Amino acid sequence: MADVLVVDDSKVMRDMIVACLRARAGLEFVHAASGLEAIERLSLHPFDLVLLDLNMPDIGGIEVVEFIRAQDKLRALPIVVITTRGDEASRARALAAGADRFLTKPFTPEALVREVSGLLGAARP
């Protein structure tokens, strides 16, 4: 069982991400609607993966990535940035901050499953 934190200020997008991954057995999802809520949840519960939007009203996705990479207990946590920012500068900034993968909206369910499976390992259910 892998615990996944889905962070996006849009409930519709969080639900869409979960729907895309629901067929992949062995995943449990926790939602966060802002960067601040994500940091709070990360401080209280261990996760196996974070799916993270860049554009949020309080603390942005880049700052959340930087927070995760600065914490000893979270440093190895895989992060997939999922964003509408498809420009190369945003991709480079997210990856330089420590994101493992960068996926641009709109994405296909297959692309999301591929990225998640790649980070969680094909051997996991």
Strand partners, 80: 51, 101
At residue 124 the predicted structure's pLDDT band, cuts being 50, 70 and 90, is very low
Q: What is the pLDDT of residue 24?
A: 79
39-87 pLDDT tens trace: 999 999 999 999 999 999 899 999 999 999 999 999 999 999 999 998 9
Selection from 12, 1, 2 nearest residue 78 by Cα: 2
Reference 103, options 26, 36, 6; nearest CA is: 6
Answer yes or no: are the C-beta atoms of 79 and 100 closer than 8 Å.
yes
Which of residues 125 and 100 earns the better pLDDT score? 100
Rounded Cα distance between 95 and 50, Å, is 14
Among the residue ranges 4-8, 29-33, 109-113, 118-122, the one predicted with the least confidence is 118-122
